[in-house]
Structure 1
Amino acid sequence: MMVDADKPGAALADDMLGFGGREFVTVKQLVLRPAGVLQAWMEQGAEGGGAYARPLRLYLALNAFLMLVLFLRGGAGYMLEGLPPDMMGALQERSGKSTDAFAADADGWMTLVMVPLLSLFYALAAAPLLRLWDQEDLGWRRGFRAAFAWLCAWTVLILPLTWWAYGKSPLAALISLVVILLGVIAFLRMGRGRWFRTTLAGIGKAILLMLAVQISGLIGGALVVAIGLLGASAMP
């Protein structure tokens, strides 16, 4: 049943979070019947014939929730822990700030850019593969629509886990493995008949897709850290 987007609660959510009635319907259907949502997005346009939210808009709204969780969990400063102390010390001294002030500024920049930047890298990694595997000649526009469709289907599954997903703890590492598994599951549930025909082929392609996404995430993560360090060095 379609949610009335004109109700006051839905309108308020849409104004504040970019998340209204159509987004709630799309999230529900991505959990229950993701293949049907993908089919509508691919065959009936970016709004699925008027039934669903645009996949890019939905993905941006989901990212807003991820950014909020990251902020509430203390930010992205944990990404600095693996950097060589000599490099951190040299950058901190050059900036003229205390160690805590430099780390706080870097954390602020990384928290700001991490989710949207990594999301962009994920889409850039996924779109060429999903376009290649599709039975239709999608072109780049629909290829990226397919990428954001899968990313939305993946993200709605991992949202309940995100509170524990950030950081360097053993629990965060375990959650990261579960997140990868959910990416495979989202691909298998969404793409049968379009991206693959047999379960074995689907598993192989899902693993390849996740490998490409993880490599792109490492590159994006390095860029996030670089932005944080440059921002902290440049800020007075």
Structure 2
Amino acid sequence: MTDGETTRKQAIRDLSEDTLGFGAAEVRTARDLLVRPRLVLQAWMIEGPTGGGRYAKPLKLYLTLNAIIMLIVFLKGGLSGYLEGMPAEMLNPLLAQAGKSRDAFMADADGWMSFLTIPVMAPLYALAAMPLFRLWDAEDLGVRRGFRASFAYLNAWTVPMLPLSWFVFGTGPAALIASLLMAVLGFAAFLRMGRGRWYRGVLPGVGKALILFAAIGLSGALGTAIVTVIGVFAGLAA
């Protein structure tokens, strides 16, 4: 490899890290979460938040992945679809009260919803999952490592989900199929990552995956409601 090729590859890596937050550690972590998630979890739990220097920190990686998803959401038209899905008898009075056009109302709402979605959703997901991982893990994780385990799982779910994001935030049959596949990936991530640590047998693993999925689903519904209310107030603001 020539010096020029090395310089170009380093420049590409630097650009990726500067724009998307993805450097060598993030790429390595995402790769290993796909092929050996259980070993990544073990490294994070035993050797610290960087897995002994091999991996990105779970929270940092999760925020980076969500930033990419929000970029996809922006390219797909934003989050105002949450409000557009409201019944006309609810939405029309809000538009009248706002005293602005529908497009202006949606633009104001979408700006705040897009800005606050990750700060609202990420802690809620982790708070929903953390007590379960502390309960199921044979070790006394404590709060700090409990949150680390939560973001480890969320990363293992989000990495393979990224290609589906373009379709999940769309409409029609493609969005429905992508949403179902996303749920399947959530179950698979738990079963692949947690074997021997969060569960032993297949049936207990499936049962715990269902409990975890329900807890995260409820926290997601709460987060969506919070973000939607914020969007409404933003749309009503002068």
Q: TM tier, shorter chain?
A: over 0.9
Partner of 2:219: 216
Q: Which stretch shows the higher mean deviation, 79-88 or 215-224?
A: 79-88
2:178 to 175, 178, 182: 175
For residue 52 of structure 2, give the secondary structure of its aligned residue in structure 1: helix
Q: Which stretch shows the higher mean deviation, 122-131 or 82-91?
A: 82-91
Asked if 1:190 is matched to 2:196, the reply is no
Partner of 1:164: 167
1:111 is displaced (CA, Å) by 2.4
Asked if 1:40 is matched to 2:26, the reply is no
Asked if 1:147 is matched to 2:159, the reply is no
After superposition, the C-alpha distances for 1:206-225 in whole angstroms (9 at most, x for unaligned) are 11101111111111111111
Cα distance in 1 for partners of 2:13, 2:73 equals 25
Asked if 1:225 is matched to 2:228, the reply is yes
After superposition, the C-alpha distances for 1:133-160 in whole angstroms (9 at most, x for unaligned) are 1110000100000000000000001011
Asked if 1:103 is matched to 2:106, the reply is yes
Q: For residues 62-73 of structure 1, what are the structure 2 equivalents within 5 Å?
A: 62-73=65-76
Q: For residues 8-157 of structure 1, what are the structure 2 equivalents within 5 Å?
A: 8-157=11-160
1:109 is displaced (CA, Å) by 2.1
Identity %: 53
Cα distance in 1 for partners of 2:172, 2:120 equals 23
Against the structure 1 CA distance between its residues 15 and 108, is the aligned structure 2 distance closer, same or farther, given a 3 Å change threshold? same
1:187 is displaced (CA, Å) by 0.4
Cα distance in 2 for partners of 1:53, 1:111 equals 25
Q: Are the counterparts in 2 of residues 78 and 168 from structure 1 also a CA contact under 8 Å?
A: no
Q: Please list every run of 5 or more consecutive structure 2 residues that lacks an aligned counterpart in the other structure.
A: 1-8
Cα distance in 1 for partners of 2:172, 2:115 equals 22
1:168 is displaced (CA, Å) by 4.3
Partner of 2:208: 205
For residue 121 of structure 2, give the secondary structure of its aligned residue in structure 1: helix
Q: Are the counterparts in 1 of residues 63 and 118 from structure 2 also a CA contact under 8 Å?
A: no
The TM-score with structure 2 as length reference comes to 0.92
Superposition CA RMSD, Å: 1.5
The TM-score with structure 1 as length reference comes to 0.93
Cα distance in 2 for partners of 1:30, 1:91 equals 44
